[in-house]
Chain A
């Protein structure tokens, strides 16, 4: 969908949020 809208560099994050958290990188809490 993003590529259809003209965005040329769209890349998924390998492992998603879990991989980011597992790597010990900073996170923030969503206010919902």
Chain B
């Protein structure tokens, strides 16, 4: 049974790599690294071309990233919220990602794909900062090449082990398909559950703008903290009246030095 599947992979290998990489980079929870590793192993045995695999991965990655870059440029930071909704990686905090991007600039695109969560968020962030398209494409292409190259090279290096694994799966027949399907479904389920729990916590903890306005109108005076990064504040000089500005943990600690811990604190980003 699995021979047919491998034959299918061998027949449609390059389009499969292209679609898998594109879907992952556009934000779907479908990892492309295993496909690239297997493609690398098959390439080592002469059953696929490493150059074609790398080219397909590079083009797919560039197209997906460029779409996010353009959306970032068009819609600014709002697009990041949409991204968080479709991504199953709630741990990728937009603010932390933004701070990383500000620290390293476009160079962060070179390693972005190796960092879970940062990979999909970096291109729209680059767009939101109005970075040059040419500079973005150059850094993004190098980053995609390094990422796909590392996966393909791993596949080539460990091709014996991968061959053995594929052989074992082949021996299992349909059970291998069931097993792989089960593992993939389990990964997606765990990530979905993590996201659900994360949003549930956020929903409980979050305060709406209407609630905050009502609190301020009632004179409750909660401490409102503007924790946007310096770059984000430079781009948008507005703030909620009386909000305390603090970009780093040190600044937050300094600003809250004389505030008693019983005081409610409401913080906001962009």
Contact = CB atoms under 8 A, between A and B. Distances in A.
Interface string B199-216: 000100111111011000
A12 to B, nearest CB: 5
Interface in B194-252: 202, 205-210, 212-213, 224, 226, 228, 233-234, 236-241, 245, 249, 252
A11 to B, nearest CB: 5
Contacts of A26: 241
Contacts, number: 101
Nearest to B261: A6
A13 B261 contact: no
Nearest to B203: A14
Contacts of A17: 226, 228, 236, 238-240, 268-270
B267 interface: yes
A4 to B, nearest CB: 10
A7 to B, nearest CB: 5
B78 interface: yes
Nearest to A6: B261
Contact of A14 (B78, B206, B238): B206
Interface string A9-32: 111111111111101011111101
B114 to A, nearest CB: 26
B212 A8 contact: no
A5 B209 contact: no
Contact of B212 (A13, A18, A30): A13
Interface of A: 1-2, 5-21, 23, 25-30, 32
Given A7-B261, A17-B238, 8 more contacts: A5-B256, A10-B264, A10-B267, A11-B267, A17-B240, A18-B270, A19-B208, A28-B238
